[in-house]
Amino acid sequence: MNNRINVTRSFLPNKDIFIKYVDRIWESHHLTNQGPLHEELVKKLSSYFNNTNVTLTTNGHLALELALKGLNLSGEIITTPFTFVSTTHAIASIGATPVFCDIDKDSLTIDTNQIENLITDKTTAIMPVHVYGHLCDTERIDSIAKAHNLKVIYDAAHAFGVEKNGKSISQFGDVSMLSFHATKLFHSIEGGALLYNDDALVETFNTYKNFGLENEETVECVGFNAKMNEFQAAMGLSIFPHMQEIIEERKQITMRYREHLNSINGIHCFTPDTDSSVSHNYAYMPIIVDGDVCGFTRDCIFAELMKHNIYARKYFYPLTSDFACYHNLSSSINLPVARRAAKQVLCLPIFNGLAVEVVDKICESIRQMSN
């Protein structure tokens, strides 16, 4: 394997299809500000997510900030340290304080048994994360939020296409955020979206994402620029029809990994089991490495694969609570499960077009370490 194998590779649609959408941009001269392709993508995604409201943004991070500002949140927001730093930055960016809750050892999502211990009179919301497409305990979170009058904003960046008991992620919490970054399952090069059912939020989110403008002469709030442009929408529209085949191919790659790795002591494939109530998206290929059992650490596998020009990812490491801008928070200290996961999880390469032979060689490299 002389060519570099990255942990992921962006899916690209048929170029001719994309160019047809680009031709429409040339015809309309409409480049941004909710143009015709933007509106077409909104409709397609709204239908895909059971006719929920969809607000598109230029990226997923600004979508998170938009959700928090649009819901008028402040004070303390309970979240997970086992996430990409964007989750935490969004909370800090609106002037709120992130409060870190440890994670569940089985799902690696926020530990719902610990949330209520962190609620104070300053708490205004919970921001859980669906990790690697594994859904949080949405029922328990909903119950806690209702009991304490809290908002729930899901970071669902990893969960495009995931359903539970026939319900899409758009049906959980007050708002769910999707990332359409180029590395995601569904992408618009850069981009993001908010999914929500409260019709009253449509105008609020559209105002905030466009500088707070009510009209050309009226600014009602301190907004920002989070608008998705027509070229981003064109890419999203070009990829959207392929979603079923994208997920199915990644499922087959996941099964191939599991076939090889499940027999290695100390290596746990943290990938979906056959749970008929959940439709998974196979967006990531994380493994959990128990060094006490297999005799080598996650970092050893990471280094060994790099020798073969294979670039896996320590995802998520470090914990966001360990970054300099957050490690002084009192809630950054007692997070034993998250800290262990950060040292044990390694995401292996998975993307559409990844050859079976490459998967086999990756697994064989890991197997040889256990001999």
Which DSSP string do the residues of 321-336 spell out, in sequence order? GGSTTTTTSGGGS--H
Domain ranges of the chain: 15-241, 242-369
Q: How far is the C-alpha of 288 from the C-alpha of 274, rounded, in Å?
A: 19
What CATH class has 15-241?
alpha beta
Q: Are 282 and 11 in contact (CB under 8 A)?
A: no
| Whole-prediction pTM | 0.96
- With 0-12 CB in 10 A as exposed, 13-18 as middle and 19+ as buried, what is 161? buried
Q: What angle do CA 227, 228, 231 make, to 5 degrees?
A: 145
The residues that bridge with 157 in the sheet, in sequence order, are: none
Q: How far is the C-alpha of 308 from the C-alpha of 166, rounded, in Å?
A: 42
Closest CA to 310 of 363, 261, 259, 353: 363
Q: What angle do CA 192, 79, 247 make, to 5 degrees?
A: 45
Residue 85 CB coordination number (10 Å): 17
Alpha carbon separation from 187 to 35, 42, 191, 240, 284 (Å, rounded): 18, 14, 7, 9, 15
Q: What is the pLDDT along the chain (371 residues), one digit of tens a residue?
A: 458 999 999 999 999 999 999 999 999 999 999 999 999 999 999 999 998 999 999 999 999 999 999 999 999 999 999 999 999 999 999 999 999 999 999 999 999 999 999 999 999 999 999 999 999 999 999 999 999 999 999 999 999 999 999 999 999 999 999 999 999 999 999 999 999 999 999 999 999 999 999 888 999 899 999 999 999 999 999 999 999 999 999 999 999 999 999 999 999 999 776 567 889 999 999 999 999 999 999 999 999 999 999 999 999 999 999 999 999 999 999 999 999 999 999 999 999 999 999 999 999 999 999 77
81 Rama class: left (phi>0) / alpha (psi -120 to 50) / beta: alpha
Q: Which amino acid is at 274?
A: T
Q: How far is the C-alpha of 234 from the C-alpha of 20, rounded, in Å?
A: 9
What kind of architecture, by CATH, is found in domain 242-369?
A: Alpha-Beta Complex (3.90)
Structure tokens at 329: 């928070």
Element (H, E) at 303: helix 298-307
Residue-by-residue DSSP string for 210-227? BTTEEETTEE-S---B-P
